[in-house]
Amino acid sequence: MMDGKADKRKPVPYAVEPLSLRCEFEECFIVEEDVDSLISHLVSEHISKLTDGDLHCHWKDCEGFTESLPELRRHIYFHAFHTKIKYHGFNLQLQKKLPNCSASIHSRNIVPELPDPLICGWVDCLVVYECAEHYYRHVDSHAKFDSKKSDKGPAVCSWEGCNRTFNDQYKVKEHLRSHTQEKLIACPTCGGMFASRTKFFDHIQRQMPIDEAEDSYVCEYCCRKLSSERLLRDHMRHHVNHYKCPYCDMTCPTPSGLRVHMSYRHSEVKPHSCPYCDYRCKSENDLRKHLESHSMVPTYTCPVENCSYATRSQTCFSVHCRKKHSKKGPLKYACHLCEKIFTRGNYLTKHLLGVHKFRWPSGHCRFRYNLNEDGCFRLQTVRYESLELSEAMMSESAENVDNPDGVERPAIENEPIPDIYSNDINITESQVSNKQVLHSSNPPSTDLLLSAWKEAGIA
C-alpha cells in the first residue's frame, strides 16, 4: 500500500511547476530552474563543442552511440526534455506521496533513438527541428492557432493524412501527441516515459508489492496479481488479439507487439550496433543486455546481508534472487497432460515436442506458458481473438485452399499434431459492451475477465 494518505488536490500545472534540472553531461552537474536555461547551457557548453570524431553520448548512465553529428545533437537535446519530464514525475511523487519505483535505476537516462530529423507533419509546414522541446512546442502552436478555421466550426487536425475533427482546440493538442509521440511525464527512478499522470500513477502501482489479502486483484487467465481493479481491466484487454501478421498466422494484441514479431521473425535488419565489437541486434533492449558483457565490474550486487553474489547480468541476478532468497523457490513448469515437473521452460518444451508430439502454432517460434494458481507454469492452450480477426483469418484460409500455390508457412514436422489452440474464444468489442460474448467449447473460467470488460465498456 502507499505510504500515508495521498493528496487529493489537483496536481500543479506543468507550466508553473518549480523545476531543478541538472545537466549530467560528463562531470558538469550545473542546475537550472527551467528547461530553456538547461538547453541554452547545453548549447553553449557542450553541444557547440561536439565533433565527428566522437559520436558517443557522455550523459551520465546513457552510453548512447549515434551514427552522425546531427543525430548526436538530437540525442543530447532529448536528454534535456527527458530531464524536465522526469522532474514532473518527481514533483507528482512528492505531492501525491507516492512510493518510489522499484525498477532498476540503471535505465533512468536511457532515451529513445532519434535517427531521423524531427519534422512537423502539419500540412504545408515541414519545419525541421533538432531540439525535441522546441519541436513539441511548435506542433502545439498549430493546435492553438491553425486548427480552428472559424469560431463556430470544429477544430481540425491537419497533420499529413489525418484530418480528424474535434470539438475544441485542446483536444487537437492532445491528439497531436499521437503523431509526435510526445510524453508528458517520466519516472525519476527508471526513466520510463508516459503520456499522462494516470499512466505514471499506474506505473508506480505496478511496482508495489502485492499482498495476498483483498488488496490484490488476480487475472483468471494468467494468474497475474495487480494492485487495483483498473490495472486489472487494462491488463485483461491485452489478452485479446486484434492484429494478424501478413506473413504468417501469428496474432498479437497490439500494433507494437506485431511490429516486434515482424522485426524478429521476418526481417534480417539489425539497426543497433555495439560500439565495442561487431555485435548487431534488433532492439535497444538486446543491445543493453549485450553491453553488460563489456562491463569490467559487476553491475548488480546482491543486497542480502552476508551474500557476496555479484554479476554483470540482470538476468543472472534475477535468477540468483529467485533461487537463493525468494520464499517461492525456483520456478516450476508442469506438463498439463502428465503433470511431470521441470525447472526450466525449455525442458518442458522438449518434453512436449518429444513425448507428446506437440508442435508450436504457425507463426510462433516457441510455446507460451501461463502461471497457474498452484504456482506452476503450464502450456497456454487458450487464446482470445477478436471475432473480426477470426473471420478475416478464416476468409484468408479459404482463399489459400482455392490457391494452393500460396506461400508455404514453416512448421515443425511432428505427427500427430495436437491443436493446442482448439479452445480459441472469439470476442468483439461491440458484443462485450452489449453483454453478448461468444464462447468456444470448454473455455476456462472467464467470469472475472468478462465482467472487467463489461465495466470498461470495451474489449
- Amino acid making up residue 18: P
Distance (Å) of CA 243 to CA 48, 103, 253, 338, 387? 46, 30, 6, 34, 11
pLDDT in the model for residue 1? 43
Q: Is the domain of 271 the same as that of 171?
A: no
CATH code for the domain of 276: 3.30.160.60
Q: What is the mean pLDDT of residues 368-377?
A: 85
135 and 163 fall within a common domain = yes
Does the pLDDT of residue 111 top 90, yes or no? yes
What DSSP string describes 1-43? Answer: --SSPPP-SPPPPGGG----EEP-BTT---EESSHHHHHHHHH
pLDDT band at 30 (very low <50, low <70, confident <90, very high): very high
Q: What pTM did the predictor assign?
A: 0.57
Confidence of residue 408 (pLDDT cuts 50, 70, 90): very low
Considering the domain architecture, whether residues 278 and 357 belong to the same structural domain is answered as no
* Per-residue pLDDT tens digits for 53-108: 999 999 999 988 999 999 999 999 999 999 999 999 999 999 988 888 888 788 89
Pairing of strands 251-252, 272-273: unpaired
Domain-terminating residue out of 345, 365, 399? 399
Residue 445 lies in a domain: no
In a domain, 410, yes or no: no
- 88 located within any domain: yes
Pairing mode, strands 384-386 and 240-241: parallel
What does the pLDDT look like over 278-310, one tens digit per residue? Answer: 999 999 889 988 888 888 888 788 888 889 999
pLDDT of 336 > 60? The answer is yes
> 373 in a domain, yes or no?
yes
pLDDT of residue 386: 74
25: β partners = 59
Give me the amino acid identity at 274. Answer: C
Q: What backbone torsions phi and psi does residue 452 show, to the nearest 5 degrees?
A: -65, -40
* 163 plus 45 within the same structural domain: no
Picking from 84-88, 333-337, 385-389, which range would have the lowest pLDDT averaged per residue? 385-389
What local confidence, expressed as pLDDT, does residue 215 receive? 60
Please report, rounded to a whole number, the percentage of residues in the chain having pLDDT higher than 70: 81
454: in domain? no
Q: Is the pLDDT of residue 213 over 50?
A: no
Residues 107 and 126 in one domain: no
258/271 Cα distance (integer angstroms): 18
The domain tally of the chain equals 5
Domain, as residue range, for 259: 243-294
What mean pLDDT comes out for the span 178-198? 94
The dihedral region occupied by 241, where left means phi > 0, alpha psi between -120 and 50, and beta the remainder, is beta
- What is residue 180's predicted lDDT score, i.e. its pLDDT? 95
pLDDT value at position 412?
36
Structural domain includes residue 6: no
Query: In terms of domains, do 18 and 86 share one?
Result: yes
pLDDT > 60? residue 326? yes
Is 80 buried (19+), middle (13-18) or exposed (0-12) by CB count in 10 A? Answer: buried
CA–chain centroid gap for 85, Å, is: 18
Higher pLDDT, 454 or 297: 297
Asked if residue 168 and residue 97 are part of one domain, the reply reads no
Q: Is the pLDDT of residue 328 over 60?
A: yes
Q: Are residues 251 and 223 in the same domain?
A: no
Choice among 95-109, 120-134, 153-167, 360-374 with the minimum mean pLDDT:
360-374
Report the pLDDT averaged over residues 322-350.
Answer: 86
Provide φ and ψ at 291, rounded to 5°: -60, -25
Mean pLDDT of 179-184: 95
Question: Looking at the structure, do residues 101 and 150 belong to the same domain, yes or no?
Answer: no
- In terms of domains, do 377 and 289 share one? no
| Same domain, yes or no: 168 and 275 | no
Residue 453 is predicted with a pLDDT of 36
Beta strands in 89-233 (DSSP E): 118-119, 128-129, 155-156, 165-166, 185-186, 193-194, 217-218, 225-226
- pLDDT-based confidence at residue 405 (cuts at 50, 70, 90): very low
Average pLDDT, the chain: 80
The model's confidence at residue 28, banded by pLDDT at 50, 70 and 90, is very high
Question: Would residue 312 count as lying in a domain?
Answer: no
d(CA 450, CA 459): 9
Q: Three-state DSSP class for 320?
A: helix
Is 423 contained in some domain? no
- Please indicate, yes or no, whether residues 280 and 222 belong to a single structural domain of this protein: no
Contact, 225 vs 235, CB < 8 A? Answer: no
What is the pLDDT, as a whole number, of residue 278?
95
pLDDT in tens, 148-174: 766 778 899 999 999 899 988 889 999
